[in-house]
Structure 1
Amino acid sequence: MTRVLHILDHSLPLQSGYTFRTRAILKAQEGLGHEVRGLTGQRHIAPAEGAEPESHDGLCFYRTPGTPSGPPGLSEWQEIGAFARRIEAVAQEWRPQVLHAHSPALGGLAAVRAGRRLGLPVVYEIRAFWEDAAVGNGTGREGSLRYRLTRALEDRVVRGADAVVTICEGLRGDLVARGNDPARITVMPNGVDLALFGQPLERDAAFAQSLGLGEGPVIGFLGSFYPYEGLDDLIAAMPAILAARPDVRLLLVGGGPAEAALRAQAQSSPAAAAIHFVGRVPHHEVDRYYALVDVVCYPRKAMRLTDLVTPLKPLEAMAQGKLVAASSVGGHRELIEDGMTGTLFPPDDAAGLAAAMAALLDDSAMWDARRAVARAFVERAHDWSVNARRYDPVYQTLLTRRQAISGAAA
Structure 2
Amino acid sequence: MALATMDTADLRIALFSGNYNYVRDGANQALNRLAEYLLRQGAKVRVYAPVVPQPAFEPTGDLIGVHSMPIPSRSEYRIPLSILGKARKDLKAFAPNIVHVSSPDPVGHQAVTWARKRDLPVLASVHTRFETYLRYYNMAWGEPVVEAILRRFYRRCDALVAPSESMAQLLREQRMNYDVSIWSRGVDREIFHPGRRDLDWRRAHGIADDEVAIGFLGRLVMEKGLDVFSDTLDELRRRNVKYKVLVIGEGPAREWFEARLPGAAFVGFQQGADLGRAVACMDLLFNPSVTETFGNVTLEAMACGLPVVAAAATGSQSLVDDRVSGRLLPPGAIHQFAEALKSYIEDPALRLAHGRAGEDRAAEFSWDKINQAVADTYIRLIRQKPGTRA
| Bin for the TM-score computed over the shorter chain | 0.7 to 0.9
Is contact 2:310–2:329 with CA below 8 Å preserved after alignment? yes
CA shift, 1:293, in A, is: 1.0
1:295 alignment counterpart: 284
- Residue 192 of structure 1 contacts residue 319 of structure 1 at CA under 8 Å; is this kept in 2? no
Q: Which moved more, 1:172-181 or 1:6-15?
A: 172-181
Residue type of the partner of 2:180? I
Secondary structure of the structure 2 residue equivalent to 1:333: coil
Which residue number corresponds to residue 63 of structure 1? 64
Report how far residue 219 of structure 1 moved: 1.4
What displacement does 1:337 show? Answer: 0.8
Letter in 2 for 1:37: V
TM-score normalised per structure 1: 0.77
Instruction: Tell me, in whole angstroms, the C-alpha distance in 2 between the residues paired with 1:137 and 1:97.
Output: 39
Inter-partner Cα distance in structure 1 for 2:315 and 2:87: 33
Q: Distance in 2 between matches of 1:254 and 1:376?
A: 26
1:405 Cα deviation (Å)?
4.1
- Deviation string 1:214-268 (CA, Å, 9 cap, x unpaired) is 1222211122233341222232133156x35x4x32222334344334333334x
CA–CA distance in 2 between the matches of 1:345 and 1:69? Answer: 36
Write the letter of the residue equivalent to 1:238: L
Q: Is the 8 A contact 1:125 1:166 kept in 2?
A: yes
* Pair 1:180–1:293, CA change in 2 (3 A): closer
Tell me, in whole angstroms, the C-alpha distance in 1 between the residues paired with 2:93 and 2:388. Answer: 22
Counterpart for residue 19 of structure 1: 28
Q: What RMSD, in angstroms, separates the aligned Cα atoms of the two structures?
A: 3.3
Give the aligned partner of residue 222 of structure 1.
Answer: 217
Paired AA for residue 310 in structure 2 = A
2:264 is matched with 276
Task: Give the match for residue 37 of structure 1.
Answer: 45
- Give the secondary-structure state (helix, strand or coil) at the position aligned to 1:343: strand
Question: Per-residue CA shift, 1:327-372, capped at 9, x if unaligned?
Answer: 3345432321112222234543333223212222333234444333
Q: Distance in 1 between matches of 2:83 and 2:260?
A: 44
Counterpart of 2:249, as a letter, is: G
Of 254, 259, 269, which aligns to 2:254? Answer: 259
Q: CA deviation at 1:198?
A: 5.5
SS in 1 for 2:161: strand
- Counterparts of 1:342 and 1:316 in 2: how far apart (Å)? 14
2:319 to 335, 347, 367: 335
Q: Whole-Å Cα distance in 2 between the matches of residues 186 and 295 of structure 1?
A: 31
Question: Can you give the 5+ residue segments of structure 1 that lack an aligned partner in the other structure?
Answer: 50-54, 72-77, 268-274
Give the 5 Å matches for 1:99-178.
Answer: 99-133=99-133, 135-138=134-137, 141-144=139-142, 150-178=146-174
Give 1:24's aligned amino acid.
Answer: R
- 2:359 is aligned to 375
Deviation string, structure 1 residues 110-158 (Cα, Å, up to 9, x no partner): 221221344422111122242433x1453x72334xx666444422222
For 1:240 and 1:383, locate their aligned partners in 2 and report how far apart those are by CA, in whole Å: 42
Paired with 2:256 and 2:177, the residues of 1 have a C-alpha distance of 44
> C-alpha offsets along residues 188-232 of structure 1, whole Å, 9 cap, x if unaligned?
23x124255355554333332222111222211122233341222
Q: 1:85 to 1:322 in 2, by over 3 A?
A: farther
Q: Do 2:247 and 2:268's aligned partners in 1 also have CA atoms closer than 8 Å? A: no
The letter of the residue matching 2:347 is D
* Cα separation, partners in 2 of 1:349 and 1:366, compared to 1, 3 Å: closer
In structure 1, what is the Cα distance between the partners aligned to 2:299 and 2:107?
27
Paired with 1:201 and 1:46, the residues of 2 have a C-alpha distance of 38
Contact 1:211–1:276 under 8 Å retained in 2: no
Is the aligned partner of 1:318 residue 2:302?
Answer: yes
Q: Find the aligned partners of 1:290 and 1:327 in 2 and give their Cα distance.
A: 19
- Judged with a 3 Å threshold, the aligned counterparts in structure 2 of structure 1 residues 399 and 200 are, in CA distance, closer, same or farther, namely same
Find the residue that maps to 1:56 and give its secondary structure. coil
Residue 399 (str. 1) matches residue 388 (str. 2): no
Q: CA deviation at 1:87?
A: 5.5
Q: Which residue of 1 aligns with 2:337?
A: 353
CA distance in 1, matches of 2:354, 2:376: 34
- Structure 2 residue identity aligned to 1:290: V
1:43-94 per-residue CA deviation (whole Å, 9 max, x = no partner) reads x434489xxxxx936x2132224444999xxxxxx965x3276664233333
Higher Cα Rg, which structure: 1
Counterpart selection for 1:186 from 181, 185, 202: 181
Secondary structure, counterpart of 1:322 in structure 2 = coil
Structure 2 counterpart SS, 1:194: coil
Higher helix content, 1 or 2: 1
Supply the distance in 2 between the matched residues of 1:161 and 1:98 (Cα, whole angstroms): 11
**Contact 1:84 1:114 survives alignment (8 Å):** no
SS in 2 for 1:310: coil
Aligned to 1:52: none
User: Which residue of structure 2 lines up, in the alignment, with residue 232 of structure 1?
Assistant: 230
Asked if the contact 2:280/2:305 (under 8 Å) is kept, the reply is no
Query: TM-score, normalising length from structure 2?
Result: 0.81
Structure-1 separation of matches of 2:146 and 2:177: 21
Counterpart pick for 2:204 among 206, 210, 214: 210
Other structure's SS at 1:154 match: helix
